[in-house]
A and B are shown apart, each in its own frame.
Chain A
Amino acid sequence: MAEHEVVCLIGASGSGKSTLLRCLNLLEPVDAGRIAVAGEEITARGVDVNRLRRRIGIVFQSYNLFPHMSVLRNVTLAPQKALGLSLRDAEARAGELLERFGLAEKRDDFPDRLSGGQQQRVAIVRALAMQPDLMLLDEVTSALDPELVAEVLNVIRELAEGGMTMLIATHEMGFARDIASRVCFLDEGVILEQGPPAQIFSAPAEPRTRQFLDRIIEAGRL
């Protein structure tokens, strides 16, 4: 992956999209093979996983906000405890990000007072507050009600325009076509086919890819 690139992972459930993302963050044990991020081999022995994870943000399908903390505290915790920022600096940084993504009014609320879309935006802000070099988004809209999907996708679009390097596992094919610089089709744990979205979505080379896309079109999702 090149810097500023936005790569979308598509494929059926169980094809390995989430596992790939979780491996990149070493949340999933890597059994074999090597992974290099920004020129550093992260699967090497003795790699400081905490330092590595600070550079890679991940957003989960189910938000995973900390329910016992306010929105602001959710966002400031890691910058303060992992990066060593003072509380004041962490709050300034968090305040700016919350403002930018229209969440300033929610800063003192607890996650249970927020809609799914708002929770997911907070989760994105929480990851951004670490100022990562790379963002991993794991089906971030899959748990949302349809009318809330757009607000989250808009945030991601804004990030892409801002030059954030992102790896996105998604079922939103229309979104992938719009935003991706490259699309990878995963099947049974391997990248079967990849290329620019125009090529993958209009003229897939692999029969499996075609089959997958046909089913998506049938379901009216493309």
Chain B
Amino acid sequence: MRTAFFNWEAYKRSFPAISRAFLLNVKIFSIAEAIILVTALVLAVLRGLPGPVFFPIRMLAIAYADFFRGVPTILVIALLAFGAPALQLEHVPTSTTFWGITALVLIYTAYVSEVYRAGIESVHPSQEAAARSLGLTRSSALVHVVLPQAVRRVIPPLLNDFIGLQKDTALVGIAGSVEAFKQAQIEVSADFNFTHYLVAASLFVAITIPLARFTDWLVAPDRRRRQAGRLV
């Protein structure tokens, strides 16, 4: 067990290569998270549009969220990363990493939009009423009063989804991109020592823990303020 799983020599040997491959994971989730922060917010806002005029848009947004939350991530990645290049269309990228990122964006936009939506709904209606009573338009009230409060409140669950996303970057490996998990697999198949998986695991953990502590630190003052302030 010690030689096959907790082999310090093997750990040291494969660490540089897997670390380098992990940079691709970092790249994937960095790009994906930046895009998702925006697309998910747009989706959440679309879903909250009032009145019968926006009914079709609301329905589309709901259908989108339902679909991409229901389909397994690995399936969407396989579909896009293998399927899209197979179409052999001009101007369609063939990079599996590109399609992996696209798949992750599609799926996590659905998840994160739900988080945003919960945040928007948690802002008491009296806040919007106060903003509208001052003559602000609906969109102005949303942008300046509702969304800033909503986004601050959902930072912890947002981060939770992003930790999930960071782990799911390993799934892009199955499409052929050599990220940390794929690199570890390559190392394991060379010497049948599973320690290499632990190398990849420790890299993932090493990046999520500081992020979680950072978020705690980030939301602490705002939480204090909100608990003291009257919102009802």
Contacts and interface: CB of A to CB of B under 8 A. Distances in A.
Contacts of B136: 50, 77-78, 81-82
Nearest to B136: A82
Interface string A154-189: 000000000000000000000000000000000000
A68 B135 contact: no
B134 interface: yes
Interface stretch (B72-80, B142-150, B177-185): B142-150
Interface residues of B, number: 26
Nearest to B130: A64
B134 A67 contact: no
A78 B134 CA distance: 6
B129 interface: yes
Interface string B205-232: 0000000000000000010111011111
A66 B126 CA distance: 10
Nearest to A51: B135
A27 B225 contact: no
A112 interface: yes
B164 to A, nearest CB: 27
A63 B230 contact: yes
Given A60-B126, A63-B230, A67-B225, A53 B149 contact: no
Interface in B104-141: 126-127, 129-137, 140
Interface string A14-55: 000000000001010000000000000000000001110110
Interface in A80-107: 81-83
Contacts of B133: 25, 27, 53, 57-58, 127
A211 B225 CA distance: 44
Contacts of A58: 133
A81 B130 contact: no
Contact of A27 (B129, B137, B140, B229): B129
A109 B131 CA distance: 20
Nearest to B228: A112
A64 B127 contact: yes
Given A27-B129, A60-B130, A81-B140, A67 B229 contact: yes
Among B127, B135, B228, the one with the most A-chain Cβ atoms within 10 Å of its Cβ is: B135
B133 to A, nearest CB: 5
A62 B127 CA distance: 10
Contact of A50 (B130, B135, B145, B232): B135
A130 B131 CA distance: 12
A81 B228 contact: no
Contact of A77 (B127, B129, B144): B144
B62 to A, nearest CB: 26
A111 interface: yes
B69 interface: no
A119 interface: yes
A66 B132 contact: no
Contact of B232 (A51, A62, A77): A62
A127 B149 CA distance: 21
A121 interface: no
A217 B140 CA distance: 46
Contacts of B148: 68
B135 A53 contact: yes
A143 B224 CA distance: 21
Q: Which 10 A-B pairs have the closest CB atoms?
A: A54-B135, A78-B134, A112-B228, A64-B130, A67-B229, A82-B135, A112-B229, A53-B135, A58-B133, A112-B225
